[in-house]
C-alpha cells in the first residue's frame, strides 16, 4: 500500500528533489568560480544569476522527466507515490505542465541579463543548457532513447557548466572585448578539462538510477548501459567513471602543471568507495534509493576539494 504524501512532500521530496538537484547543479559551478577567483575575475551577481538559472533549468528537466514517466508511461508503476498523488488529486498534470513551463520560462527571462553581459556566447550556452535538459525525455527524439545521456551529462556538467560560469564573470569584467563565440578562445585551456571528473561523478548519479530502474527503462525503450548490457554493464560503467575521476587529479599534478594541492579531491575517496561497494552489492530499488543523494553529495564534496586545490595551486 502506497503511503499518502502531502502536496508539499510531493513537490519537494519527489519533484524538486533538492538532495539530488542542488549538489549536482552546484558542483560544476563551484569549479568555475574557483578558476575565476584564481584569475582575479570573480563577480558575484552574474555568477549567482547563472547558477540560479542553471539550477532552475535542471529542476525543469526533472519535472519533465517525471511528467513523461507518469503520463506517457502511466501504465508502469515505477513511481507509485506520484501515481497515487495524481489519482487522488494531490498532484495534477496541469500543475506539472505549469511547473515545467515556469522552469524554462524563468531562465529565459533571466537570459536577457546574461546576454547583455555575455553576448552571443552567453546565448549559445543558455540554449545548450535548456535543450539538453528538456530533451532528456522531452521532444520528438529524447536522447535517452539513443544512449546519449551519459556523454551529454559529462559534457554539460564537466565542461559547459564550468565554461559558462567562468565566461560570464570574464565578460562582466571585459565589456569592451568581443563576446562572440571567438571569446571562448581567450579563456584558459584548463577550463575545458579540469572539471571533467566532476562531470563524471554527476553522471554517476544518473548511472545509479539507471541500474535501479533498468527493468522499467527497458520497457520504456530507453537505451542505457544497464538496459543494453545488464546489471554488470551498469556496474562496470559506474566503477569506470569513478576510477577515471580519481585518476584525474594525478594526471593534473603529474603532467599538466598543477601543484600537489590538486590532489585534495582524493580525500573524498572513502565516501566514493562506500558508494561503489553499494552499487556492486545491491541491485533493488529499495537498496539503492539512498545511494543517489550520497552520490550527489560526493560530487559536491569532490568539487569543493578540487576547487580548493585550484585556488592553492600557483597560477
- Evaluate whether 55 touches 21 at the Cβ level (below 8 Å): yes
Place of cell 564534496: 301
- pLDDT tens digits, 250-307: 999 999 999 999 999 999 999 999 999 999 999 877 789 889 999 999 999 999 999 9
Return the pLDDT at 79. Answer: 86
| Residue 12 located in a structural domain | yes
| Residue 273 located in a structural domain | yes
Domain coverage including residue 32: 7-312
End-to-end CA distance of the chain: 59
Handedness of CA 16, 131, 299, 168 (dihedral sign): negative
| Residue 196 located in a structural domain | yes
Place of cell 496541469: 94
| Residue 82 located in a structural domain | yes
Q: Residue 76 — very low, low, confident or very high, per pLDDT cuts 50/70/90?
A: confident
| Residue 2 located in a structural domain | no
Handedness of CA 141, 142, 144, 145 (dihedral sign): negative
| Residue 1 located in a structural domain | no
| Residue 104 located in a structural domain | yes
| Residue 299 located in a structural domain | yes
- pLDDT tens digits, 191-209: 999 999 999 999 999 999 9
Please name the residues in contact with 199: beta carbons below 8 A apart, sequence gap of 6 or more. Answer: 28, 153, 154, 155, 156, 157, 158, 159, 161
pTM: 0.96
For the chain, how many structural domains are there in total? 1
Amino acid at each position: 500500500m502506497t503511503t499518502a504524501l502531502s502536496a508539499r512532500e510531493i513537490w519537494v521530496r519527489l519533484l524538486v528533489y533538492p538532495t539530488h538537484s542542488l549538489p549536482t547543479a552546484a558542483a560544476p559551478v563551484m569549479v568555475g568560480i574557483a578558476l575565476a577567483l584564481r584569475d582575479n575575475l570573480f563577480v558575484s551577481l552574474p555568477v549567482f544569476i547563472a547558477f540560479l538559472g542553471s539550477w532552475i533549468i535542471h529542476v525543469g528537466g526533472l519535472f519533465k522527466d517525471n511528467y513523461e514517466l507518469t503520463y506517457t508511461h502511466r501504465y508502469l508503476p515505477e513511481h507509485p507515490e506520484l501515481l497515487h498523488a495524481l489519482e487522488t488529486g494531490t498532484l495534477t498534470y496541469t500543475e506539472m505542465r505549469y511547473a515545467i513551463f515556469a522552469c524554462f520560462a524563468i531562465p529565459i527571462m533571466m537570459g536577457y541579463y546574461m546576454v547583455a553581459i555575455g553576448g552571443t556566447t552567453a546565448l549559445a550556452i543558455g540554449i545548450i543548457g535548456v535543450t539538453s535538459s528538456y530533451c532528456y525525455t522531452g521532444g520528438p527524439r529524447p536522447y535517452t532513447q539513443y544512449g546519449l545521456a551519459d556523454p551529454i551529462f559529462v559534457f554539460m556538467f564537466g565542461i559547459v557548466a564550468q565554461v559558462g560560469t567562468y565566461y560570464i564573470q570574464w565578460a562582466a569584467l571585459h565589456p569592451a572585448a568581443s563576446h562572440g563565440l571567438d571569446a571562448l578562445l581567450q579563456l584558459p585551456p584548463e577550463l575545458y578539462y579540469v572539471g571533467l571528473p566532476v562531470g563524471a561523478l554527476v553522471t554517476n548519479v544518473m548511472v545509479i538510477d539507471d541500474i535501479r530502474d533498468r527493468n522499467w527503462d527497458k520497457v520504456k525503450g530507453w537505451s542505457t548501459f544497464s538496459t543494453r548490457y545488464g546489471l554488470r554493464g551498469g556496474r562496470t560503467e559506474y566503477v569506470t567513471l569513478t576510477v577515471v575521476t580519481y585518476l584525474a587529479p594525478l594526471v593534473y599534478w603529474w603532467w599538466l602543471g598543477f601543484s600537489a594541492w590538486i590532489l585534495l579531491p582524493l580525500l573524498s575517496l572513502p565516501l566514493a568507495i562506500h558508494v561503489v561497494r553499494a552499487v556492486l552489492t545491491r541491485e533493488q530499488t529499495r537498496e539503492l534509493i539512498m545511494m543517489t543523494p550520497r552520490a550527489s553529495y560526493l560530487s559536491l564534496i569532490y568539487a569543493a576539494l578540487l576547487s580548493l586545490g585550484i585556488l592553492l595551486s600557483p597560477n
